[in-house]
């Protein structure tokens, strides 16, 4: 059976999210530099047009 979602106010949800982010950063699981590098890599991949392959018969 699925867990019931907690009924939190917007402020409580925001505080819970900030605490989770702080905990991840303190544990070394979250690095702003790694996040920026990954984001830039994804943007470059999306901005680069795909080359069409010519299939030989």
Distances (CA, A) of 52 to 44, 47, 48, 49: 18, 15, 12, 9
**pLDDT value for 15:** 93
**pLDDT value for 57:** 54
Distances (CA, A) of 31 to 37, 44, 45, 50: 10, 20, 21, 30
Helix, coil or strand: residue 44: helix
pLDDT digits (tens, 9 = 90+) for 1-57: 777 777 889 999 999 999 998 898 888 887 777 888 888 999 998 888 777 666 655
**pLDDT value for 54:** 67
Q: Would you tell me how many other CB atoms lie within 10 Å of the CB of residue 30?
A: 14
**pLDDT value for 2:** 74
> What is the token pair recorded at 23?
């905990």
């Amino acid at each position: 059976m699925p867990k019931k979602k907690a009924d939190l106010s917007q402020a409580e949800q925001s505080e819970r999210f900030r605490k989770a982010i702080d905990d991840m950063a303190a544990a070394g699981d979250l690095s702003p530099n790694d996040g920026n590098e990954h984001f830039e890599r994804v943007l470059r991949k999306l901005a680069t047009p795909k080359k069409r392959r010519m299939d030989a018969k």
